[in-house]
Amino acid sequence: MDITAPRPELWTRIAALLGALRALLRQAVPEHFASIAAEARLQLITATALVRRYIHALAGEITLPEPRPVGISRKPSNETPGKLQRRREALFCLIEETCPARHAAKSDGADTPFVQWALMMEVARRLVLVLNHPEKHALRLARMLRRRKGRVLKDLPVPSHILRRLPPWIDALLCRLDESARPEAWAAITAQGPPVLCG
C-alpha cells in the first residue's frame, strides 16, 4: 500500500486494520470459513465504515471549480458504450444512504462458507484499491455531493452491536473520522452538550 496518501495519521490506521482483515481471510480455509466468519464480517463492516468516512473527510477539503454555465455543450465523447458502462460501475458505494442493505459485508451468513469467504475477499480487495488512491475517489465524491441533496451518511458508522465489540482505539478512530466526515452533525451535537461517544 502507498503511504503517501493524504491525512497519513488516519490512513495508516485504516490500512493497518484492513491489512489485518486481509491476513485473516488469506489464512482461512475457505471450506471451513464458518468458524471465523462472524469476526471477519465485523472487521469488514468496520473497515468499510472507516474507508467511507475517510473519503468523505477528504472530499470535504476539496474546492471544486465553478460549474459550467447552462447551455455550454460538452465535447462529444469517443467512448464506446462498454467503456461508459465500466466507468459507471464504481468500486465502492460512497453514499451510505443509497447502499444496498447487504453491501458492506456482501454476505449475511446465509451463503456457504466458501461463498462467504470469496465475497469478503472481493470486498476487501476493493477497499484496498480505494484506499490506495483516495484522492481520485474523494474528487468523485465531491462532485457527487455538489449535485446531491439530503443525507449521505448514517448517524452510526456501524451498527450498535458491533460498536460494543470494538477495541477503544478503533472506536476513537471511528468517532474522529465521523466528525471529519459529518462536521455539521457533530457541531449540532456539541452545541447541545457533551459529545456522544460512538461506542
pLDDT attached to residue 102: 47
Domain contains 78:
no
Cβ-based burial of 165 (10 A; exposed 0-12, middle 13-18, buried ≥19) = middle
Domain contains 68:
no
pLDDT attached to residue 92: 84
Domain contains 71:
no
Domain contains 178:
yes
Domain contains 95:
yes
Q: Taking the CA of residue 43 as centre, how many other CA atoms within 13 Å lie in the half-sphere pointing to its CB? A: 20
pLDDT attached to residue 115: 92
pLDDT attached to residue 103: 46
pLDDT attached to residue 198: 66
Secondary structure string (H, E, C) spanning 158-181: CCHHHHCCCCHHHHHHHHHHHHHH
Per-run averaged pLDDT (10 residues), the chain, 199 residues: 76 96 94 90 95 96 81 54 51 80 53 92 95 94 87 89 92 94 85 61
Closest CA to 27 of 15, 38, 40: 40
Domain contains 77:
no
Helix, coil or strand: residue 62? coil
The residue range of the domain holding 38 is: 8-63+90-192
Distance CA 104, CA 46 (A): 9
Closest CA to 197 of 183, 176, 181, 182: 176
Domain contains 70:
no
Domain contains 2:
no
Instruction: Show the cell assigned to 170.
Output: 478503533
Distance CA 56, CA 60 (A): 6
Cβ–Cβ under 8 Å, residues 59 and 152:
no
Q: Into how many domains does the chain fold?
A: 1
Cβ–Cβ under 8 Å, residues 115 and 34:
no
Helix, coil or strand: residue 144? helix
